[in-house]
Amino acid sequence: MRHLEIFQQVTHHGGFNRAAAHLHIAQSALSRHVQQLEADLGVALFERSGRGVQLTPAGEILAQRVDSLLRQFRQTREELVAKADLPRGELAIGLPPSMRAIATRLLAEYRKAHPDVALTIWVSTSIELREWLLSGHVDVAIFGILEPETVLESYPFQRDQVYALGAAGSELNGQAIDMRTFAKLPLILTSRPNSMRLLIDNAAQRLNLSLDVVMDVNSIPLLIDLVRNGLGYTALPSSAIQEIQQSEAFTCSPLKQTSYSWTVSNSRERPLSAAGRRFRSMVLDLAGDRDIVHALEDRPVI
């Protein structure tokens, strides 16, 4: 396995010097790995000359297949670990930016419980997280879902109230407003494609309403800053505004007949590893009978 990884790096970087620099190992050690691989296979993989190294015909064949071989090996290893139900190895988790308020504590809890799992965290919109699950870019993801999908194994754990959010001194006073009132406000909404935007668009369409959208923004922190400065109003689930809901810089009101369902999901086409199953169980256990924001709010960041 290690010999193949070294060979892959040499071919990808176009030589031993650059591969050694990238891997932060001595060139002599890297050469020994390649020589051992050549001995194991019984063929020469590189032709060495004063001008550097070139792949032999056998090396060309292996170079075409090494990525696939390593990917299959890692997938097989993950499946074996999953069967053993040991939470270790690698886990790629997808999170939406609106879950930032709980992500740190959730991930700290997971790392404390499972230190042998190497985490990679990807943050994007619910729409893109769904695509990443299907492509295998992430193993498990938390995102908002508007309707069930057969290609995903999804576990709902929280339903959020959607709030209209405005700057201090706006006409929002904490009392619930309906969609007709909201549609008349100058709106700053998340850019399409985005599940929160789809929810608002669909709600307006059902009532045959036109939205007064003055700005589309693909960054929630920027969107909130624009609202804070009085450039317009927005709509976000309660988990996204947990930290600012009591701030004097904002006013907010529940938006009637709108709610947002959060799920923890994985692709049905790929078995979830033990590490992924433990993450899913932790999310569901923390949520329990109350929302996950309040389940985590009293827990210190480790």
**CATH of residue 215:** 3.40.190.290
Query: What is residue 290's predicted lDDT score, i.e. its pLDDT?
Result: 47
pLDDT confidence tier of residue 296, bands split at 50, 70 and 90: very low
Query: What is residue 187's predicted lDDT score, i.e. its pLDDT?
Result: 96
> Comparing C-alpha atoms, which of 202, 201, 176, 190 is closest to residue 233?
190
Tokens 């792949």: give the residue.
55
> Comparing C-alpha atoms, which of 255, 229, 240, 217 is closest to residue 167?
229
What mean pLDDT comes out for the span 144-170? 83
Task: Kindly state whether residue 222 falls inside one of the protein's structural domains.
Answer: yes
User: Considering the chain, what percentage of its residues have pLDDT values greater than 90?
Assistant: 30
pLDDT in tens, 167-192: 988 888 889 999 999 999 999 998 88
Same domain (yes/no): 40, 110:
no
Same domain (yes/no): 250, 173:
yes
Same domain (yes/no): 185, 137:
no
Distance CA 239, CA 105 (A): 14
> Which range of residues forms the domain containing residue 246?
160-260
Q: Which three-class secondary structure state does DSSP give residue 166? A: strand
Higher pLDDT, 99 or 301: 99
Same domain (yes/no): 74, 205:
no
Same domain (yes/no): 238, 182:
yes
53-62, 192-201, 241-250: which range is least confident on average? 241-250
Same domain (yes/no): 72, 201:
no
Tokens 């922190």: give the residue.
221
Task: Choose one of 23, 54, 84: the last residue of a domain.
Answer: 84
Residue pair 36/3 in contact (Cβ under 8 Å)? The answer is yes
Same domain (yes/no): 139, 270:
yes
CATH code at 57? Answer: 1.10.10.10
What mean pLDDT comes out for the span 8-27? 81
> Comparing C-alpha atoms, which of 195, 157, 141 is closest to residue 296?
157
- Look at the chain and report how many structural domains it folds into: 3
Same domain (yes/no): 171, 239:
yes
Task: Choose one of 46, 69, 84: the last residue of a domain.
Answer: 84
Distance CA 166, CA 226 (A): 10
Task: Choose one of 33, 51, 84: the last residue of a domain.
Answer: 84
Look at residue 289 and tell me whether its pLDDT is greater than 50: no
Same domain (yes/no): 100, 69:
no
Same domain (yes/no): 42, 171:
no
pLDDT in tens, 69-124: 888 887 787 777 666 666 788 999 999 887 776 788 889 999 999 999 999 999 98
**Long-range contact pairs involving 9-14 (C-beta distance under 8 Å, separation at least 24):** 10/34, 10/46, 10/53, 11/55, 11/59, 11/63, 11/66
Same domain (yes/no): 99, 169:
no
Task: Kindly state whether residue 301 falls inside one of the protein's structural domains.
Answer: no
Query: What is residue 32's predicted lDDT score, i.e. its pLDDT?
Result: 87
pLDDT confidence tier of residue 302, bands split at 50, 70 and 90: very low
Query: What is residue 221's predicted lDDT score, i.e. its pLDDT?
Result: 86
Same domain (yes/no): 152, 289:
yes
pLDDT in tens, 256-275: 988 778 889 999 888 888 89
Task: Kindly state whether residue 302 falls inside one of the protein's structural domains.
Answer: no
CATH code at 291? Answer: 3.40.190.10
